[in-house]
Amino acid sequence: MRISTQAASQSALMDLMRAQRQLYESGQQVSTGLKAPDLKGYGNEVETILFARGALARSDNFVEASKRLASRLDVQDLALNEMSDAVQDLRLALTTNDGTFLMNDVQAAFSRFSAALNTQFNGSFIFSGTRTDAVPFTADTIAQVQGAADIADLFHNSSKSQTGRIEENTTVETGFLADELAADLMAIFARIADFNAGPDGPFDGTVTTVQQEFLSTEIGNVIAAFENISSAIGKNGSLQARLETAQQSNAQRSDYLKTMIAGMEEVDMAEAANRLTQAQMAMQVSALVFSDMSQVSLLPFLR
């Protein structure tokens, strides 16, 4: 009888410990929403979970990088459109029959264009290529352009454009270089200034026949410069559209991965709450049984 009672007590103790463990695990699931506290509790699904987590991390990194790139492309678009408007201002200035204020208008167009050319984003010059700390164009006035031994000396951008991840696994050129955008236009400004200072200048009052012929030629050159800027605007727009498509695709992939991971790691809260209730009841029963068995004595049988 002694051996039987001891065995029963041991069995009751084991049941109590098992009930405690189940109660703890059920409580953890309800409080955390997870099936297990660490990867060891997921068995054969560990490899899949790790793969999905890694893919989600890469996806999240791309999201952050794409947001920064999208902002830079937006600023770049604004700058390019400002350049386009400045070139339009120049073309309009050259169509006048009254040269009284022509050079003032030309200088205004120059100032507007050069300011856009030196646009910054987060402290970096967007048209400097990979030399983002270098001011891409250093002339402040047409006179400085006119006086330069070589207009190319006024540009300080690198020879390589900035790049960015336009898709998760695709890096392309996303920037434009100041000299490629503006060198021809700056030559136009210099020629206008030279002509104004030459024997057929200055522009003052009604333009002469010689002046009109010169301006007509330069208008053609300005139109070519305008088309160059327009081409850059189009390319930038294509990059923006491509990036937006990649962002949408990536968002869908991220949502899928999150759902996939949640399906493997997270518990059904209704089921978890039900298991917790059952575990609490089992714990109470096991505790009562163990308490009763602990109080069993052989004395009544020995009298």
Q: How much is the pLDDT for 151? A: 97
Q: How much is the pLDDT for 236? A: 97
Cβ atoms 82, 116 nearer than 8 A: yes
* Dihedral sign of CA atoms 100, 103, 108, 109 in order: positive
Q: How much is the pLDDT for 45? A: 82
Closest by Cα among 224, 228, 218 to 178:
228
Q: How much is the pLDDT for 51? A: 86
Say how many C-beta atoms besides its own lie within 10 A of residue 259's C-beta: 10
Task: Give the pTM.
Answer: 0.77
Q: How much is the pLDDT for 39? A: 65
* Residues of the chain predicted below pLDDT 50: 1-3, 268, 297-303
Q: How much is the pLDDT for 264? A: 72
**Residue 5: its H or E element:** helix 2-32
Q: pLDDT per residue over 31-66, tens digit each? A: 565 655 666 667 778 888 888 889 888 888 888 888
For 189-225, the DSSP string reads HHHHHHHHHSTT----SBPPHHHHHHHHHHHHHHHHH
Q: What is the CATH number of domain 48-261?
A: 1.20.1330.10
Q: pLDDT per residue over 249-302, tens digit each? A: 888 888 899 888 877 766 645 665 555 566 566 556 555 555 655 665 444 444
**Residue 164: its H or E element:** strand 163-167
